[in-house]
Amino acid sequence: MGDTDVTTDAGAPWLIVGLGNPGPEYAMNRHNVGFMVADLLAERIGGRFKRAGKAQAQVIEGRIGPPGPANRRVILAKPMSYMNLSGGPVTALRDFYKVPTANIVAIHDELDIDYGVLRLKLGGGDNGHNGLKSMTKAMGSDYHRVRFGIGRPPGRMQVADFVLKDFASAERKELDYFVDRASDAVECLVIEGLERAQGTYNS
């Protein structure tokens, strides 16, 4: 499925998933930018992450958007299973909260996009990303993605080493801005739809 809107149930909740690895040693890794965006969205919602029963994830339930028909119920989640096993917790949350697959948003790092650039899409392949690979294997590919560019590794550095390193000092100078912009993009996607969010944030 491509970059087009699909019919979603306006009354159904949205499941917004930041992908990353749990533990302080991974906190500032490039691979954890999904967690960083989820943490900022949590601040905006005004909640605190808590363990989600048997789902092996941390969640916050809340609402985003202005009062009225544009207001959306959201479940914000960070899987605690490690990246390559993300599909299990996400599927458990989807089933528990009765979220249509089209109302799931995965926020993740993307190697094939320059640092800080965003691309929003619906469906598609996993491009070698282990978190997406696990999610797609568990529930199919028809969920939304907010792809946060981290660029390619320099020289002959291995991809696994690159994504599991912290952002470089030069990158960190702009990281807060880019995480804030990615959070805006997620909110726009949920409130106004994919086409509007792509038009505003796909740069």
Per annotation, catalytic residue among 31, 108, 129, 144:
31
- Residues 59 and 173: their CA atoms lie apart, in Å, by 29
Biggest CA-to-CA distance, the chain = 52
68, 177 contact by CB (below 8 A): no
- Residues 21 and 71: their CA atoms lie apart, in Å, by 30
Helix and strand numbers (H, E) in the chain are 6, 7
Beta strands in 111-203 (DSSP E): 118-122, 144-149
Q: 108 an active-site residue?
A: no
- Residue 167 CB: number of other CB atoms within 10 A? 19
What is the set of active-site residues? 31
